[in-house]
């Protein structure tokens, strides 16, 4: 069989490239470090540095990195004006897609595709994206902007800009863990999209804009937004089993379960589930956790499907009091580190990504 005749729908199982950034084989690892160890011993900034620079930072490198990010958090005034002018019903992901395009125009390195310039651009986007998300959210509700604070961590600063009050340490820690877990995941749809774009020798910002478009879909990043809808539809622990059996009988897709790569469970889901359980118990909101537990058990028994990261993440963000429309933009706050690492890796050893298609149209014919 020739290469042109080999076909795998959705490219399932196809090796489309090489990467030194992460692997899902034998458990998720970022540049060799198991994600569970990173969660236990690092903050998100450490992990972002690891992805962008290749190794965990020293104490001095950590301080310098934090200072660079803190200094880059403010948005260009024209972008703030644009966010004010957007219709209030614009979705946050659409606004964010536009925001990344706008900040590109004000980036001094925008036309420079060298590794050093791309690393600087990546760090600036890492700093600017949370500010843009928080700004659009507050402006869409007629609220005044809350300026970023340089002394706060990335997780604490985002919650501060969103609410205008400091979040409790346990909220910051759980949110930070979710950012670590969402940061990178090999050749997922949005990451591969970014690599395809820059393989043409396009620029980093264009790759990120395209990745945001890919992440927006409900089969990728949008799945976490649907978790609470599903739990509310289930009604509670008293009705969850009956509801799920009826939904499966109707062949409905149960969002937050199953994964193209993980067949026996997503290690990230197990890690984050512990944080959700603690916060839900502290907040007296165990009803949805009990409902989720019943659905998890039945999905394993009936369909041999297990939770992916979106399942606990949607519940965590609900416990933190965040609106569902923010869940996928939060994904971007984290995954921008992985996207940019892949963009730089693609450009460092580039070959245009141009696969073949299997033709299934009419046989050769002539125009009458």
pLDDT tens, position by position, 26-76:
889 999 999 999 999 999 999 999 999 999 999 999 999 999 999 999 999
Q: What is the set of domains in the chain, with CATH numbers?
A: 21-216+333-348 (1.10.580.10), 223-319 (1.10.230.10)
| Active-site pick, 107, 176, 203, 310 | 310
Range scoring the smallest mean pLDDT among 14-18, 148-152, 311-315? 14-18
CA separation for the pair 61, 56 (Å, rounded): 9
* Mean pLDDT across the chain: 94
Catalytic, 259? Answer yes
Q: Tell me the sheet residues that pair with 30.
A: 22, 33
| Active-site pick, 220, 275, 318, 342 | 220
| Active-site pick, 259, 275, 318, 342 | 259
pLDDT at 2: 52
Per-residue pLDDT for 4 more than 60? no
Q: Is the whole model's pTM more than 0.85, yes or no?
A: yes
The enclosing H or E element of 300 equals helix 286-303
pLDDT in tens, 235-293: 999 999 999 999 999 999 898 897 666 656 789 999 999 999 999 999 998 999 999 99
Span 212-234, average pLDDT: 90
pLDDT in tens, 181-199: 999 999 999 999 999 999 9
Within 10 angstroms of residue 28's Cβ, the number of other Cβ atoms is: 24
pLDDT at 259: 63
CA separation for the pair 113, 348 (Å, rounded): 10
Tokens of 13: 């199982």
Catalytic, 310? Answer yes
């Amino acid at each position: 069989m020739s290469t042109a005749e080999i076909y795998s729908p959705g490219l399932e199982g196809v090796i489309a490239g090489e990467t030194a950034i992460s692997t899902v084989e034998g458990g998720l690892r970022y540049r060799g470090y198991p994600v569970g160890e990173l969660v236990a011993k690092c903050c998100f900034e450490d992990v972002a540095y690891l992805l962008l620079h290749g190794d965990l930072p020293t104490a001095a490198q950590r301080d310098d990195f934090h200072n660079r990010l803190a200094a880059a958090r403010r948005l260009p005034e024209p972008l703030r004006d644009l966010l004010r002018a957007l219709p209030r019903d614009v979705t946050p992901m659409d606004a964010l897609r536009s925001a990344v395009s706008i900040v590109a125009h004000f980036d001094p390195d925008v036309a420079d595709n060298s590794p050093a310039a791309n690393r600087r651009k990546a760090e600036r986007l890492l700093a600017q994206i949370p500010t843009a998300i928080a700004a659009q959210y507050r402006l869409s509700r007629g609220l005044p902007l809350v300026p970023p604070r340089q002394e706060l961590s990335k997780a604490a600063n985002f919650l501060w800009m969103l609410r205008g009050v400091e979040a409790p340490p346990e909220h910051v820690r759980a949110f930070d863990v979710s950012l670590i877990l969402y940061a990178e995941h090999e050749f997922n749809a949005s990451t591969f999209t970014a690599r395809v774009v820059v393989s043409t020798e396009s620029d980093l910002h264009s790759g990120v804009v395209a990745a945001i478009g890919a992440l927006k879909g409900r089969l990728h990043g949008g799945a976490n937004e649907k978790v609470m809808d599903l739990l509310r539809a289930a009604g509670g622990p008293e009705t969850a089993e009956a509801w799920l059996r009826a939904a499966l009988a109707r062949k409905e897709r149960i969002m937050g379960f199953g994964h193209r790569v993980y067949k026996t469970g997503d290690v990230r889901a197990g890690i984050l589930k512990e944080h959700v359980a603690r916060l839900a118990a502290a907040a007296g909101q165990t009803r949805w956790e009990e409902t989720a537990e019943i659905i998890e058990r039945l999905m394993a028994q009936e369909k041999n499907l297990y939770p992916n990261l979106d399942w606990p993440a949607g519940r965590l963000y609900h416990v933190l009091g965040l609106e569902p429309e923010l869940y996928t933009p939060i994904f971007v706050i984290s995954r921008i580190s992985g996207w940019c690492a892949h963009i730089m890796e693609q450009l460092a050893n580039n070959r245009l990504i141009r696969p073949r298609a299997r033709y299934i149209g009419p046989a050769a014919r002539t125009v009458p």
